[in-house]
Amino acid sequence: MGFFTEMFARPRPQERQRYRAALALLNAMSNADRADIGIKPADFPRIAREMAIR
């Protein structure tokens, strides 16, 4: 069930701009930078949501 929640969950409207900016930042990182901090592209939506909330 957690998969469907992640798949259909949407960021709150006031956080949408920050979510998009965080996602763009994560996508712009090089593979070496991603390996340094230990994240995979599949984690990007979750991490971007956490960044948008802060």
Question: Average of pLDDT values for 44-53?
Answer: 90
Checking if the pLDDT of 41 tops 70, the result is yes
From residue 1, give the alpha-carbon distance in Å to each of 38, 43, 48: 26, 17, 21
More confident residue, 29 or 53: 29
Checking if the pLDDT of 52 tops 70, the result is yes
Residue with tokens 């909330």: 53
**pLDDT recorded at residue 12:** 58
Instruction: Give the residue among 20, 28, 21, 27 at the shortest CA–CA distance from 43.
Output: 27
pTM, entire model: 0.64
